A and B are shown apart, each in its own frame.
Chain A
């Protein structure tokens, strides 16, 4: 039972354009969502998070949008840079009810072309 799904295994964009990565979830108990970036042979690096009481959070070039009714979140990167090329993981937690363990999607490989 895949509770967090990233349906696009890969995404390719041009440098300077917007990258939009999508994530869907099924568990209505999830109340905290995070995006991580991962390079090969390294651990995931935290990018940005959002609580279920918000619908948008912005940090520099990164913005996360949460649509609770659709159980959908997205990460926007503007402008995209070649250094953003990596695998992006969406993760969710149910806070107190699950002891904070994260449930991850399968990841989306983002390639930003110069």
Chain B
């Protein structure tokens, strides 16, 4: 009965390094969403994926950020050459279907860029 799992929970990187955030959706869920919460702000949509497909990446910065959801394994959000402004909490959510469907969130990964 596991919920959405994310790891690591905390990640510290120096400027210019790469950050890899992983998300395993709830069992049976094939829709995955990534959101970012900057300090003192609400959550902002980044990308929506189904297995092996990116459906909507309109919220993701054009450079340095990429996401995937392979046929096997977790979804990965990858940030290359991190900068201090990337410091935030990154949340993954999953749903059973799309449309009017509840999204269930993981505990988040808190990224700190030094």
Contacts and interface: CB of A to CB of B under 8 A. Distances in A.
Interface in A58-114: 89, 91, 93, 95-96, 98-107
B91 A44 contact: yes
Contact of B106 (A43, A101, A106): A43
Interface string B38-69: 00011111001000000110110000000000
Contacts of A102: 33, 35, 43, 45, 93, 103
B67 to A, nearest CB: 13
A100 B98 contact: yes
B108 interface: yes
Interface size classification for chain B: 20 to 34
B105 A100 contact: no
Contact of A36 (B33, B45, B105, B106): B105
Interface size classification for chain A: 20 to 34
B98 A44 contact: no
Interface string B85-104: 00000010101001111111
Contact of B101 (A42, A45, A100): A100
Nearest to B46: A101
Contacts, number: 71
Contact of B48 (A31, A101, A104): A101
A55 B100 CA distance: 15
Nearest to A43: B105
B42 A99 contact: no
A105 B37 CA distance: 12
Nearest to A46: B102
A44 B33 contact: no
Nearest to A89: B42
Contact of B45 (A34, A45, A101, A105): A101
Contact of B4 (A43, A95, A106): A43
* CB-based closest 9 A-B pairs: A43-B105, A104-B42, A99-B56, A32-B100, A101-B45, A100-B98, A104-B43, A106-B42, A43-B107
